[in-house]
């Protein structure tokens, strides 16, 4: 970081709005919602969703209650085009749901997008171009007039080429985004939006959507609200315009910026489930919607099965909802503090049916979104994987890999179901040791020794399989690789090592090493093993044997 005074960065300029009205307002109704998970969210994934995953995700969004869903950029790639066509041709889009597509201001791309939309009943054509001074200078080398011409010419093309869709019975709506709106001079943002509106000629019945994105979040939320109120007050055809928000989260205040901008007069919100998006993400629609719900405003979206929604989201995006994420995080309704647990318990017991929710430390009834309150040190069949992992780490020092949490969570939940009662921390520890650390059959490690030569490691192993002794030897690029190769000479099932983690258990001379190994067998079974030893090399080999014995037990 630059030492003070900081001259590398500039404060964001405020909006001259001395009579701002939004601070005195209260929200009384939800906005219109538009999910951009399948476009803005999908493009931000390290591994974009497959077509089948996108179809499942689309169905989820419809089930939640979204009436506007941006499904892609069909002129950008054949995959995006085909996905749009499949939604339409397979009749997957309910009549009351509009699919939205994104397009740049180029005629050939607009024509291609219209081809993708043939046969749809309800569409939003989303056109955009960048407008900020930096974009004009560095990317386009263009004057403000040039940028306006790009937008108006693109709008005219959309109007021309969507006529055939409208004639065939498609309800066509138009959305324009001055990309990087919040970094654009307000007077110029107004000028280009007015120019686009002049070309489109919206009506009260078919309003234009002016999407005013915080493409990169630079300003504090109150400045964003001032920008939206300024536009709200200066648009000449406000009765024929929907002001839409699209905040990102670079400053970590995308939710606050959206909520204040709704107070400032915005009508519509674009975002994604759990905030997936470029850099630090898009707006998290789940949080904004449930924030409204906790103030007595039904958002018009159904998050009553938040766990099921999270499961589909995590599986399709390969992302994880953080443990402390609002409403949906694994540990959101978990109190570590004993005093908090006591206060929650006492206020919960006094909560009367039909009265306003008033439980300490918990702003929403977990049952409303399909969840339950969990005191982390009280583990039963309803407890989550995060609670089990917390007990093992904080009570006994085992820092399990994240991917191992679900596995041990299922084991402990099954044990709690069997006993029909809460489990103590010692019982959880004993179950963990029995499942992972105490397995000595059918494979038992008796001796393991390595020698290093150049870049190879040679291992000599003595072990028993079903009580029969074996002496094995092999070389590899490390002890684990050599051991796996040595096992390849036996009748044991083939497997590959997927991941490895280790840490110390205890301190000083008494410290031991703990290793966690994840393997995948030739039958596609994926599971973990764990090993403890004063020698880190032996701990890792014991973890491999543990995983192998667990795999054999499942066979």
**Cα distance between residue 178 and residue 501, in whole Å:** 47
Kindly report the CA angle at 380 between 378 and 381, in degrees rounded to 5?
155
Handedness of CA 519, 521, 527, 528 (dihedral sign): negative
Asked if residue 395 and residue 529 are part of one domain, the reply reads no
Asked if residue 171 and residue 61 are part of one domain, the reply reads yes
Domain assignment present for 323: no
Beta bridge partners of 104: 128
| Residue 378: pLDDT over 60 | no
Mean pLDDT over 80-109 rounds to 97
Domain assignment present for 536: yes
The phi and psi torsions of 67 (rounded to 5 degrees) equal: -100, -10
pLDDT band at 330 (very low <50, low <70, confident <90, very high): confident
Mean pLDDT over 226-232 rounds to 98
Which stretches does DSSP call E strand in 339-404?
374-375
Predicted local distance difference test score (pLDDT) of residue 331: 86
pLDDT band at 384 (very low <50, low <70, confident <90, very high): low
Predicted local distance difference test score (pLDDT) of residue 94: 98
Beta bridge partners of 379: 423
**Cα distance between residue 253 and residue 274, in whole Å:** 14
Predicted local distance difference test score (pLDDT) of residue 453: 82
pLDDT above 70 as % of the chain: 97
Predicted local distance difference test score (pLDDT) of residue 5: 94
Mean pLDDT over 124-137 rounds to 96
Average pLDDT over the chain reads 93
| Residue 380: pLDDT over 60 | no
Would you say 325 and 57 are in contact if contact means Cβ atoms under 8 Å apart?
A: no
Q: Annotate 368-405 with b (16+ C-beta within 10 A) or e (fewer).
A: ebebebbbbbebbbebbbbbbbbbbeeeeebbbbeebb
Would you say 508 and 450 are in contact if contact means Cβ atoms under 8 Å apart?
A: no
pLDDT above 90 as % of the chain: 84
Predicted local distance difference test score (pLDDT) of residue 175: 98
Query: Domain containing 127 — which CATH number?
Result: 3.20.20.70
Judged by DSSP in three states, 16 sits in: coil
Alpha helices, DSSP H only, in 15-143? 42-43, 51-64, 78-89, 107-116, 133-134
Q: How many domains does the chain have?
A: 3
Would you say 302 and 367 are in contact if contact means Cβ atoms under 8 Å apart?
A: no
| Residue 442: pLDDT over 90 | yes
Would you say 198 and 155 are in contact if contact means Cβ atoms under 8 Å apart?
A: no
Asked if residue 394 and residue 255 are part of one domain, the reply reads no
| Residue 323: pLDDT over 80 | yes
Would you say 540 and 529 are in contact if contact means Cβ atoms under 8 Å apart?
A: no
| Residue 225: pLDDT over 90 | yes
Q: Which residues contact 339 (CB under 8 A, 6 or more apart)?
A: none
| Residue 376: pLDDT over 60 | no
Asked if residue 464 and residue 358 are part of one domain, the reply reads no
* Range name among 130-134, 332-336, 490-494 with the lowest pLDDT average: 332-336
Asked if residue 124 and residue 105 are part of one domain, the reply reads yes
Query: Domain containing 530 — which CATH number?
Result: 3.30.160.270
pLDDT digits (tens, 9 = 90+) for 267-281: 999 999 999 999 999
Judged by DSSP in three states, 85 sits in: helix
User: In terms of Cα–Cα distance, which of 469, 467, 487, 504 is closest to 541?
Assistant: 487
Q: Which residues contact 188 (CB under 8 A, 6 or more apart)?
A: 131, 144
Tokens 């969570």 belong to residue: 409
Would you say 264 and 15 are in contact if contact means Cβ atoms under 8 Å apart?
A: no
Domain assignment present for 25: no
Mind giving me the DSSP string for 229-244? Answer: HHHHHH-TTGGGEEEE
Domain assignment present for 292: yes
Beta bridge partners of 243: 210
What are the C-alpha distances in Å from 393 to residues 160, 176, 194, 503? 63, 51, 59, 12
* Dmax (CA) of the chain: 88
**435, 459, 480: which is the final residue of a domain?**
435
Asked if residue 417 and residue 451 are part of one domain, the reply reads no
Q: Annotate 439-460 with b (16+ C-beta within 10 A) or e (fewer).
A: beeebbbeebebeeeeeebbbe
Asked if residue 413 and residue 476 are part of one domain, the reply reads no
Query: Domain containing 395 — which CATH number?
Result: 1.10.287.1400
pLDDT band at 406 (very low <50, low <70, confident <90, very high): confident
pLDDT digits (tens, 9 = 90+) for 174-183: 999 999 999 9
Q: Write out the residue range of the structural domain in which residue 403 sits.
A: 334-435
Asked if residue 120 and residue 69 are part of one domain, the reply reads yes
pLDDT digits (tens, 9 = 90+) for 98-111: 999 999 999 999 99
Higher pLDDT, 377 or 310: 310
Asked if residue 532 and residue 412 are part of one domain, the reply reads no
Mean pLDDT over 425-431 rounds to 92
Domain assignment present for 82: yes
- The number of beta carbons lying within 10 Å of the beta carbon of residue 100 is 23
Q: Which helix (H) or strand (E) holds 539?
A: helix 536-554
Handedness of CA 355, 356, 361, 363 (dihedral sign): positive
């Amino acid at each position: 970081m630059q030492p003070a005074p900081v001259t590398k960065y500039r404060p964001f300029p405020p909006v001259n709005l001395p009579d701002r009205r939004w601070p005195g307002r209260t929200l009384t109704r939800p906005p219109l919602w538009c999910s951009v998970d399948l476009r803005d969210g999908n493009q931000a994934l390290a591994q974009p969703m497959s077509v089948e995953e996108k179809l499942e995700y689309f169905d989820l969004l419809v089930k939640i209650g979204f009436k506007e869903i941006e499904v892609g950029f069909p002129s950008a790639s054949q995959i995006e085009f085909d996905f749009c066509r499949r939604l339409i041709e397979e009749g997957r889009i309910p009549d009351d749901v509009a699919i939205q597509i994104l397009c740049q201001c180029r005629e050939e791309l607009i024509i291609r997008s219209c081809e993708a939309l043939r046969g749809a009943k309800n569409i939003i054509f989303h056109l955009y171009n960048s407008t900020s001074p930096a974009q004009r200078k560095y990317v386009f080398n263009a004057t403000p007039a040039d940028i306006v011409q790009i937008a108006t010419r693109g709008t005219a093309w959309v109007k021309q080429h969507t006529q055939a869709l409208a004639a065939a019975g498609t309800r066509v709506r138009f959305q324009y985004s001055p990309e990087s709106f919040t970094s654009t001079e307000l007077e110029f943002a107004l000028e280009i939006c007015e120019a686009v509106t002049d070309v489109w000629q919206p009506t009260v019945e078919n309003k234009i959507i002016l999407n005013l994105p915080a493409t990169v979040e630079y300003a504090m939320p109150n400045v964003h609200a001032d920008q939206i109120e300024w536009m709200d007050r200066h648009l000449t055809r406000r009765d024929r315009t929907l002001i839409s928000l699209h905040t990102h989260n670079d400053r970590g205040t995308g939710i606050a910026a959206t909520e204040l901008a709704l107070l400032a007069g915005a009508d519509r919100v674009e975002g994604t489930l759990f905030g997936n998006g470029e850099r630090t993400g898009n707006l998290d629609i789940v949080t904004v919607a449930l924030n409204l719900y906790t103030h007595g405003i039904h958002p018009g979206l159904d998050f009553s099965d938040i766990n099921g929604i999270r499961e589909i989201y995590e599986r399709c995006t390969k992302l994880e909802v953080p443990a402390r994420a609002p409403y949906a995080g694994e540990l959101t309704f978990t109190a570590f503090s004993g005093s908090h647990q006591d206060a929650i318990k006492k206020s919960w017991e006094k909560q009367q049916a039909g009265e306003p929710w008033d439980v300490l430390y918990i702003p929403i009834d977990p049952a409303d979104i399909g969840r339950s309150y969990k005191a982390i040190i009280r583990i039963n069949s309803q407890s989550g994987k995060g609670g089990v992992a917390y007990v093992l780490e904080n009570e006994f020092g085992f820092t399990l890999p994240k991917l191992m949490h679900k596995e041990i969570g299922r084991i402990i939940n099954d044990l709690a179901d069997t006993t029909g009662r809460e489990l103590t921390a010692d019982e959880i520890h004993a179950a963990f040791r029995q499942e992972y650390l105490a397995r000595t059959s059918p494979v038992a490690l008796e001796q393991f020794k390595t020698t290093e030569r150049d870049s190879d490691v040679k291992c000599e192993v003595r072990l028993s399989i079903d009580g029969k002794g074996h002496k094995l030897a092999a070389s590899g690029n490390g002890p684990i690789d050599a051991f796996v190769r040595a096992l390849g000479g036996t009748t044991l099932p083939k497997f590959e090592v997927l991941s490895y983690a280790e840490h110390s258990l205890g301190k000083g001379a008494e410290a031991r090493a703990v290793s966690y190994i994840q393997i995948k067998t030739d039958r596609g079974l994926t599971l973990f093993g764990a090993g403890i030893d004063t020698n880190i090399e032996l701990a890792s080999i014991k973890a491999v044997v543990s995983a192998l014995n667990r795999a054999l037990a499942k066979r």
